[in-house]
Structure 1
């Protein structure tokens, strides 16, 4: 039996474990610099993000971490899915799709104008999965990023 629920502070160790497993899958283990304390502060204390936990028979097997953005052209908030992950041995059961459906329901209930996310170029299975759900790649857009050092350097100008 699969169930989706909102994460609570008690889920921080589980969320952190799933983040580390996602990093391994994406070959980005060295990029994980957060901690359980950082997640508590920024997700639960400051409310910068929200997390859904997917459970199979009461055991966490996946998560979706998202936050709200805003479209100036649409004039409405949107949901940005930062990460979606289902344990590799639990894939193929529709759990990822159920997590995306739950997020779409949240976006619809909250009158969001968009529901967006990014995917690594090499992740063909996920790209095909998202396309099968009606999602469209935004090929004409390029993502830009400043890391902590870049932010500091720009802020000093």
Structure 2
């Protein structure tokens, strides 16, 4: 089983949107292709916003990651947020997640980030285990959001 990770391009839109739909369904997040497609196209077109990675196993799309840029004095300046990280269910528990996470970290690092943050649902023990083994820690602060 050969794993690969690469930057996504416009030709990846159909596969990415399919995987995004699966990811969002699993996270109980409303997903509307008509809304998400132009957002994804903008991200693909502007590396100043972040990076989109496609993960492949034996040449077939097996997952994706979205890394977006931020800036935080506490973390040394540029930081990154792993806003979406998905590995297809049939490729989980085979070491693909570890390799995919390492690729996302390298994308953040090579983009100048000093830290990579992510959100994980409290009940998602499998993902928490993966992230914990990779060196991620919970912070003593809660993430709070206000929509505009």
TM exceeding 0.5: yes
| Gap runs ≥5 in structure 2 | none
- Does the CA contact (< 8 Å) of 2:120 and 2:127 recur in 1? yes
**Given the two structures, how large is their TM-score scaled by the length of structure 2?**
0.87
CA 44–105 in structure 1, closer or farther in 2 if over 3 Å, else same: closer
Rounded to whole Å, the distance in 2 between the matches of 1:111 and 1:37 is: 26
Give the structure with higher Rg (CA): 1
CA 74–39 in structure 1, closer or farther in 2 if over 3 Å, else same: closer
1:57 counterpart = 2:66? no
Rounded to whole Å, the distance in 1 between the matches of 2:93 and 2:116 is: 23
Compute the displacement of 1:90 (Å). Answer: 0.8
Aligned residues: 144
| Gap runs ≥5 in structure 1 | 152-157
CA 135–74 in structure 1, closer or farther in 2 if over 3 Å, else same: closer
Aligned to 2:146: 146
Compute the displacement of 1:76 (Å). Answer: 1.8
Aligned to 1:85: 86
Aligned pairs for 1:34-113 (under 5 A) are 34-40=35-41, 42-47=42-47, 48-113=49-114
Please tell me the root mean square deviation across aligned C-alpha atoms, in Å: 1.7
Rounded to whole Å, the distance in 1 between the matches of 2:5 and 2:97 is: 11
Rounded to whole Å, the distance in 2 between the matches of 1:35 and 1:83 is: 13
- Does the CA contact (< 8 Å) of 1:82 and 1:118 recur in 2? yes
Report 1 or 2 for greater relative contact order, CA contacts < 8 Å, sequence distance ≥ 6: 2
